[in-house]
Structure 1
Amino acid sequence: MVASLDTTFLDHSYENPFMNASGVHCMSTKELDELSNSKASTFITKSSTSVKRAGNPEPRYRSVPLGSINSMGLPNEGFEYYLEYATKYQKKNSKANPIFFSVAGMSVSENLKMLRALQDSDFHGIVELNLSCPNVPGKPQVAYDFELIKEILTQVFEFFTKPLGVKLPPYFDFAHFDAVAKILNQYPLAYVNCINSIGNGLYIDAHNESVVIKPKNGFGGLGGEYVKPTALANVRAFYTRLNPSIKVIGTGGIKTGQDAFEHLLCGATMLQVGTELCEEGVTVFTRLENELKEIMDRKGYTSIEQFRGKLKSL
């Protein structure tokens, strides 16, 4: 039998687990349409703020040997731009599976304002609250302040009833995995997304004796192969700690079908592709789908559920 990549996420059946990572190939309606027409099973909008942001000065993204470094600074077209697109998309594709809408306000009040607007809107997809943007100068990552996570989610779930997930940064300590999972398990979250980029790396151009991106004196978020082991660790840590009703989306270092297989083995249900999508374009989804099927065929798996989450320990 030929392997099937059918994936059930929040009671919806997707033809494969692949989608873009927010921030990559999703800034404009043109890019969103290209995702819609690709082999990705769904897609997520650019993390939006209430009003349009230009983001950090260029150059702010650089491809490097094992991935990428970026300090984008949340450039986006503004909340209303993406909400208009999402609602029109739904009407035009009424039988399509839900898409994802990402919000990343610069303050708690801004996030609450956008979530209230989504709650009151006709949007009936899945919402992702980005608690982990590491590249806005002067703004710390919310998700490293555990009390603030509780404060935000408590306020959100006083009024928000649509499916909601949170984008998390990488954590590096078992005590932090335990503490964050304990907080998240108190709320009716649909999923967690592990991970955003590893914040504040530094890549050096030795020939020119300089950094390679302009914002923050060269400090930026790492993506790609650099981050896969950290991403896998976070996927596994939260898969084994969260209530079964809270799914895990795996993001970080997915360049090949094997990378996708490893994320699924750790317990991820959906997979987001960032750096490799930026490098290769939307055709990456066709390649990843074929490579994952080849691995499953070779191992004798006909469905993802036969191995998902079943990572063996020694």
Structure 2
Amino acid sequence: MTLKTTFAHYEFSNPLMNASGVHCMTTQELDELLQSQAGAVITKSSTLEKRAGNPEPRYVDLSLGSINSMGLPNLGFDYYLEYVLEKQKDTSIKGPLFFSVAGMSAKENIELLQKLQESAFDGITELNLSCPNVPGKPQLAYDFEATEALLKEVFSFFKKPLGIKLPPYFDLVHFDTMAEILNQFPLTYVNSVNSVGNALFIDPDTEAVVIKPKDGFGGLGGQYIKPTALANVRAFYTRLKPEIKIIGTGGIVTGQDAFEHLLCGASLLQIGTALHQEGPAIFERITRELEEIMAQKGYQSIDAFRGKLKSL
């Protein structure tokens, strides 16, 4: 049996990786991921300059997941670029690193991608079009015209492997419209989904919200969003051209969760809330649980069942 996964002409030992934003702020955290059983590693979404992010408390664990309004805290584009360029020289690292960018505007996104294009970075870039927790900044990916315009400009100069991270969509027409736009471009992948934006959680004892920014409104993650994440993975897997792969993100806590994302059509899987709660050891556990499920079902490889979700 093997969990090996081919993605963007690269081979990964297994499909598991961190979600950008979790356990990847510092070089120490990134090193811990590289030393774990994760099949791949992605950096924190970076902006041009260092950002402190939103005031605390801005992340709280809930019974079935988490709520956060981080506000894109990061150590700046150059910090992460220096790290990935150094790691590219390390022959012990299997597969390419993923580099996430999330500009505060379309103009900043273009500037960040131009810097990456001109750099020696030879990994895979993720453009985060879904940042629900920056006050006053809408999620670009909910503006279809703006998304199409940005991607046209990006692909006029960006020639390296590029994927985009999307928010969840909730209407079949929106899946159709976004897929029609994305199919125009040589995207490497779509990452679906980011947290469900603007949820609200109340502490019953204090009768108050649990996070400070945006009067308590924040992105919902964890088990709460798995059904939404699975629906988005499946919707894009069945609508996008085969060359555009899917990274499934949302609610992966167990090997069964991972199996379901793969069954819906995901090629790689990102873990966020559960990684934050459990630490990098989670990758060894979920890998083992996934192998046990595959053994019970008689699957020798992920390709034997990936995307083969049955309808009634």
**Code of the aligned partner of 1:292:** L
Partners in 2 of 1:95 and 1:219 — Cα distance?
39
Find the counterpart in structure 1 of residue 209 from structure 2: 211
Residue in structure 2 matched with residue 14 of structure 1 by the alignment: 12
Distance 1:94 1:260 in 2: 26
Superposed CA offset, 1:169-201 (max 9, x none): 000000000000000000000000000000000
The CA distance in 2 between the partners of 1:60 and 1:275, in whole Å, is: 14
State the alpha-carbon separation in 2 of the partners of residues 203 and 259 from structure 1: 24
1:288 corresponding residue in structure 2? 286
Specify which of 225, 232, 236 is matched with residue 230 of structure 2.
232
Residue of structure 2 in register with 1:48 after alignment: 46
> Is the aligned partner of 1:154 residue 2:162?
no
Give per-residue Cα distances to partners, 1:114-161, cap 9 Å, x unaligned: 100000000000000000000000000000000000110000000000
Counterparts of 1:51 and 1:21, CA distance in 2: 21
The equivalent of 2:311 in structure 1 is 313
User: Equivalent residue for 1:172?
Assistant: 170
Residues 95/284 of structure 1: CA separation in 2 closer, same or farther (3 Å cut) = closer
Q: Which residue of 2 aligns with 1:248?
A: 246
The aligned counterpart of 2:80 is: 82
Q: Select which of 134, 137, 141 maps to 1:136.
A: 134
Residue type matched to 1:157 in 2? F
Deviation at 1:95, TM superposition (A): 5.9
Counterpart-to-counterpart distance in 1, 2:91 and 2:200: 43
d(CA) in 1 for partners of 2:202 and 2:225?
Answer: 18
2:148 & 2:248 partners in 1: Cα distance?
Answer: 23
Q: Tell me the distance in 2 between the aligned counterparts of 1:73 and 1:94.
A: 34
| Deviation string, structure 1 residues 236-255 (Cα, Å, up to 9, x no partner) | 00000000000000000000
AA in 2 matched with 1:300: G
Structure 2 counterpart of 1:244, one-letter code: P
Q: Of the candidates 57, 61, 64, which is equivalent to residue 63 of structure 1?
A: 61
Tell me how far 1:94 sits from its aligned partner. 6.8
Is 2:35 the counterpart of 1:37?
yes
* Deviation per residue, 1:71-117 (Å, 9 max, x gap): 00000000000000000000123763101000000001100001000
RMSD, matched Cα: 0.7
| Paired residue secondary structure (1:91) | coil
Letter in 2 for 1:12: Y
- TM-score, normalization by structure 1: 0.99
Structure 1: 4+ residue segments shifted above 2 A = 92-96
Task: Please name the residue that 1:183 is paired with.
Answer: 181
User: Which of 87, 107, 110 is the equivalent residue of 1:109?
Assistant: 107
Identity %: 68
Partners of 2:150 and 2:178 in 1: CA distance:
13
Amino acid at match of 1:53: R
1:228-282 deviation line (CA, Å, top 9, x unaligned)? 0000000000000000000000000000000000000000000000000000000
Q: Give SS of 2:307's match.
A: coil
Q: Is the 8 A contact 2:34 2:93 kept in 1?
A: no
Unmatched runs of 5 consecutive residues or more in structure 1: none
Tell me, what secondary structure is at the counterpart of 2:190?
strand
Question: TM-score, normalising length from structure 2?
Answer: 0.99
In 2, Cα distance between equivalents of 1:222 and 1:17? 23
SS of equivalent to 2:134: coil
Distance 1:27 1:190 in 2: 24
1:27 shift after superposition: 0.1
Q: Which residue of 2 aligns with 1:257?
A: 255
> What is the rounded CA distance, in whole Å, between the counterparts of 2:212 and 2:268 in structure 1?
33
Work out the CA distance in 2 between the residues paired with 1:175 and 1:95. 41
